[in-house]
């Protein structure tokens, strides 16, 4: 793109100027939802060999070894018509009338220990055609059901060897029943499961709704998985300098105009706009955006808004989109009440990821 003439001493401005996320209301057809069930750009090239376990955390190297064995055990024919494999069953087994033992692996641990890296590595290592293995976030999976309908989702995913679910969280009872039923159908069809979460499968929903009332569904979900605990510190900030302090509105605006493909939005208005777009479309919301510039960053007003912001932060991180911000530092976005509540791990993950993206955006501002 050519650039217009700028004032002396300033950065060149792009002809069109920055776009606005608030002006976008993307529509995502069902076929795109299915086609995009692959690891996002940040994790497209990751492999088990590129995961660097912390030598102080034995659970990290053990997780790599376990997952490599799991992926090797998924080679060969799909359960439908050719026999079913048990969890870590490396040979072909006769198809039982009911599933025997867990059919999946569940990566539990704090934010920033590399769970998504490992989940994507499992997807890449599994010896099946890309069209026969699926990778998506929990919210993308539930939206797929909404787009295709339950039965068609079961038929579509039943043809897969592996379903990887990132950021597995249960935020309401409806999702609990829906996902429990869906995964049960997929296990019966011989689909292997893998998931990541910051919460053990038996504790899903705890602190968010009356989980005790849905204990049967939660226990049913837990029965599908063998949990692997991954300990460690947040690798995104291990040994790296402090995140840059927020810039001024003027600096952010100037950088947005000088950066090709940048978007520029007022933070409160963006939060309002997110309520009008389904969270499963937040990835499409950022299509073609090379940097997100935000002015007027301030505390998130309520929990519903905060959870939408978490999903946007995840999609920006997946797509490696830098975030340049003016106003409040990202570690002040969420109230103490939020950080001490049932969604605290989600909020800390969002802070961690936004901070990493802010570090990536620092170079957009001229010295």
pLDDT tier for residue 4 given thresholds of 50, 70 and 90: very low
Order the strands of the 262-266 sheet from edge to edge: 262-266, 291-297, 323-327
Is the pLDDT at 140 greater than 90? The verdict is: no
Could you give the number of structural domains in the chain?
2
Domain that holds residue 205: 55-232
Same domain, 279 and 352: yes
Is the pLDDT at 116 greater than 80? The verdict is: yes
Residues 6+ apart with CB under 8 A from 54: 60, 232, 233, 235
Q: How high is the pLDDT of residue 165?
A: 92
For 13, the enclosing helix (H) or strand (E) is strand 13-14
Q: Is residue 38 part of a domain?
A: no
Q: How high is the pLDDT of residue 178?
A: 86
Which of the residue ranges 40-44, 106-110, 141-145, 316-320 would you say has the lowest mean pLDDT? 106-110
pLDDT tier for residue 240 given thresholds of 50, 70 and 90: low
Q: How high is the pLDDT of residue 199?
A: 58
Cα–Cα distance for residue pair 66/291, rounded to 1 Å: 37
Is the pLDDT at 323 greater than 90? The verdict is: yes
Same domain, 218 and 254: no
CA-based nearest residue to 309, from 272, 340, 345: 272
Residues 6+ apart with CB under 8 A from 110: 198, 231, 232, 234, 345
User: What number of CA atoms fall less than 13 Å from residue 43's CA on the CB side?
Assistant: 26
Residues 6+ apart with CB under 8 A from 304: 275
Q: How high is the pLDDT of residue 117?
A: 95
Domain stops at, among 204, 232, 260: 232
Q: How high is the pLDDT of residue 98?
A: 36
Q: Is residue 114 part of a domain?
A: yes
| pLDDT > 70: percent of the chain | 77
Q: How high is the pLDDT of residue 62?
A: 95
Same domain, 62 and 24: no
Is the pLDDT at 210 greater than 50? The verdict is: no
Q: How high is the pLDDT of residue 100?
A: 37
Cβ atoms of 257 and 95 closer than 8 Å: no
Cα–Cα distance for residue pair 114/156, rounded to 1 Å: 29
Same domain, 195 and 250: no
Q: What residues pair up with 109 in beta bridges, in sequence order?
A: 230
What are the C-alpha distances in Å from 238 to residues 183, 186, 235?
36, 38, 5
Same domain, 105 and 183: yes
More confident residue, 327 or 228: 327
Cα–Cα distance for residue pair 196/202, rounded to 1 Å: 14
CA-based nearest residue to 263, from 329, 312, 303: 312
Domain stops at, among 205, 232, 259: 232
Cβ atoms of 95 and 217 closer than 8 Å: no
Task: Summarize the confidence of residues 105-118 as an average pLDDT.
Answer: 87
Residue pLDDT, tens place only, 48-94? 999 999 899 999 999 999 999 999 888 643 443 333 333 333 333 33
Same domain, 226 and 244: no
Is the pLDDT at 9 greater than 50? The verdict is: no
Q: pTM of this prediction?
A: 0.77
More confident residue, 206 or 69: 69
Task: Summarize the confidence of residues 91-119 as an average pLDDT.
Answer: 66
Is the pLDDT at 203 greater than 60? The verdict is: no
More confident residue, 197 or 62: 62
Which of the residue ranges 47-51, 108-112, 204-208 would you say has the lowest mean pLDDT? 204-208
Order the strands of the 225-230 sheet from edge to edge: 133-137, 162-166, 192-197, 104-109, 225-230
Cα–Cα distance for residue pair 96/190, rounded to 1 Å: 10
Cα–Cα distance for residue pair 76/49, rounded to 1 Å: 23
Residue pLDDT, tens place only, 298-315? 999 999 999 999 999 999
Is the pLDDT at 211 greater than 50? The verdict is: no
More confident residue, 71 or 204: 71
More confident residue, 297 or 181: 297
Task: Summarize the confidence of residues 223-235 as an average pLDDT.
Answer: 81
Cα–Cα distance for residue pair 96/100, rounded to 1 Å: 8
Which residue shows structure tokens 């592996």?
Answer: 162
Alpha helices in the chain (DSSP H): 30-35, 58-72, 79-82, 115-125, 138-148, 150-158, 173-188, 215-223, 249-258, 267-274, 282-285, 303-318, 336-339, 344-361
Helix axes 267-274, 303-318, angle to 10 degrees: 100
Same domain, 245 and 293: yes
Same domain, 145 and 220: yes
More confident residue, 241 or 289: 289
Mean pLDDT of all residues belonging to the chain: 81
Q: Is residue 33 part of a domain?
A: no
More confident residue, 277 or 367: 277
Same domain, 89 and 195: yes
Same domain, 266 and 170: no
Cα–Cα distance for residue pair 365/244, rounded to 1 Å: 11
Which pair of structure tokens corresponds to residue 357? 């993206």
Which of the residue ranges 15-24, 94-103, 104-113, 192-201 would you say has the lowest mean pLDDT? 94-103
Q: How high is the pLDDT of residue 32?
A: 87
Which residue shows structure tokens 């910051």?
Answer: 198
Domain stops at, among 207, 232, 257: 232
Which pair of structure tokens corresponds to residue 358? 């802010």
What are the C-alpha distances in Å from 183 to residues 27, 107, 128, 197?
27, 17, 20, 16
Query: What's phi and psi for 82, nearest 5 deg?
Result: -130, 15
Task: Summarize the confidence of residues 140-144 as an average pLDDT.
Answer: 88
Q: What is the CA radius of gyration of the chain?
A: 22
Domain with residue 99: its CATH number is: 3.40.50.300
Same domain, 193 and 268: no
Is the pLDDT at 170 greater than 90? The verdict is: no
Which pair of structure tokens corresponds to residue 348? 């800390």
Q: How high is the pLDDT of residue 234?
A: 64
Which pair of structure tokens corresponds to residue 234? 């947040």
């Amino acid at each position: 793109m050519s650039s217009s003439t700028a004032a002396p001493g300033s950065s060149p401005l792009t002809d069109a100027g920055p776009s606005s996320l608030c002006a976008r209301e993307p529509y995502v057809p069902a076929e795109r939802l299915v086609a995009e069930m692959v690891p996002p750009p940040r994790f497209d090239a990751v492999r088990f060999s590129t995961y660097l376990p912390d030598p102080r955390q034995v659970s990290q190297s053990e997780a790599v070894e376990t997952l490599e064995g799991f992926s090797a055990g998924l080679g060969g024919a799909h359960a439908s018509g050719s026999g079913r494999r048990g969890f870590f069953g490396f040979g072909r087994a006769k198809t039982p009338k009911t599933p025997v033992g867990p059919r999946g692996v569940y990566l539990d641990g704090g934010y920033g220990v590399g769970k998504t890296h490992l989940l994507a590595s499992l997807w890449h290592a599994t010896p099946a055609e890309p069209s026969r293995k699926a990778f998506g976030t929990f919210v993308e999976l539930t939206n797929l059901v909404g787009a295709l309908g339950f039965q068609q989702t079961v038929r579509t995913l039943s043809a897969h060897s592996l379903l990887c679910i990132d950021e597995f969280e249960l935020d309401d009872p409806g999702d609990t029943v829906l996902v429990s039923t869906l995964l049960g159908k997929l296990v019966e069809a011989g689909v292997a499961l893998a998931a990541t979460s910051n919460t053990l499968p038996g504790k899903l929903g705890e602190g968010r709704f009356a989980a005790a009332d849905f204990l049967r569904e939660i226990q049913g979900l837990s029965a599908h998985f063998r949990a692997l605990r991954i300990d460690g510190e947040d690798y995104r900030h291990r040994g790296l300098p402090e995140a840059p302090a927020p810039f001024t509105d003027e600096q952010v605006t100037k950088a947005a105009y000088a950066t090709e493909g940048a978007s520029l939005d007022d933070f409160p208005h963006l939060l309002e706009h997110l309520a009008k777009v389904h969270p499963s479309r937040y990835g499409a919301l950022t299509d073609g955006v090379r940097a997100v510039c935000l002015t007027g960053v301030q505390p998130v007003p309520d929990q519903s808004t905060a959870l939408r912001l978490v999903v946007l932060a995840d999609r920006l991180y997946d797509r490696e989109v830098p975030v340049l911000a003016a106003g409040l530092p990202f570690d002040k976005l969420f109230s103490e009440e939020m950080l001490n509540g049932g969604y605290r791990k989600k909020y800390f993950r969002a802070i961690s990821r936004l901070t990493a993206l802010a570090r990536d955006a620092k170079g957009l501002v001229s010295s």
